[in-house]
Structure 1
Amino acid sequence: MADGCLLLVDSVEGPMPQTKFVLRQAMAKGLKSIVVINKIDRDNSRIAQVIRLTQDLFLELATSVDQLDFQLLYASAREGITVTELGIKGKDI
């Protein structure tokens, strides 16, 4: 039994086919989603574009307005940090 879905999206590659599959399953079960944009420390990360692509995916799959509401986190697994806003200093997770 799950209460929510943690959707991990690479800041370089963006949403992958398996991202769509997992999100579709989570939405079908009525789970709330938290999107984590990972690898924000990479030089070639494209955070703004990846967020837009992820939002487009939500728009494509949502069957209700409530499903369009998701929390967004930014992470660097290498540095061991997660933040709720870009530009603020992260704490070790």
Structure 2
Amino acid sequence: VLLLVDAVEGPMPQTRFVTRKALALGLKPIVVINKIDRPGARPDWVINHTFDLFDKLGATEEQLDFPVIYASGLNGFAVINEGDERKDMRPLFEAILEHVPAPEVDADGP
């Protein structure tokens, strides 16, 4: 699951609601700090507040070790580290492939 958090505003009340649901299901969210290119962006503050939120909601050690992607949906880029070259959304796609488990399916089923 992807948890999209604004780089200026941080976790919002609805963030708490959906995060509680995801954590209760045992999911390990990928935290996407969006609007990283906005004036006033404070990604470290946002990550700390997101961590605190996860902790208050009873996240496991594994869930507290969440991957972070920095992005700008408006400008169409995502990066793993803030200083990385801002080209496209490929790092987000790769994070999904790496961290989201494949669904369990019955290959012989309908």
TM-score where L is the length of structure 1: 0.89
> How much does 1:24 deviate?
0.4
Aligned to 2:2: 6
Alpha-carbon distance in structure 1 between the residues aligned to 2:67 and 2:31: 6
Match of residue 33 from structure 2: 37
> Which consecutive unaligned segments of at least 5 residues does structure 1 have?
none
CA–CA separation in structure 2 for the residues paired with 1:6 and 1:47: 16
Question: Where do 4+ consecutive residues of structure 1 move more than 4 Å?
Answer: none
Matched, 1:83 2:85: no
- Equivalent of 1:60 in 42, 56, 63: 56
**Amino acid corresponding to residue 60 of structure 2 in structure 1:** S
Deviation at residue 66 of structure 1 after TM alignment: 1.9
User: Does the CA contact (< 8 Å) of 1:62 and 1:68 recur in 2?
Assistant: no
1:73 and 1:83 in contact (8 A); partners too: yes
For the pair 1:25 / 2:21, whether they are aligned, the reply is yes
Distance 2:59 2:66 in 1: 14
Report how far residue 63 of structure 1 moved.
4.3
Gaps of 5+ in 2: 90-110
1:48 to 17, 40, 44: 44
Cα distance between partner residues in 2 of 1:33 and 1:62 = 14
From the CA coordinates, give the structure whose radius of gyration is larger: 2
Separation in 1 of the partners of 2:48 and 2:60? 19
Where 2:3 maps in the other structure, the secondary structure is strand
**Aligned pair count?**
89
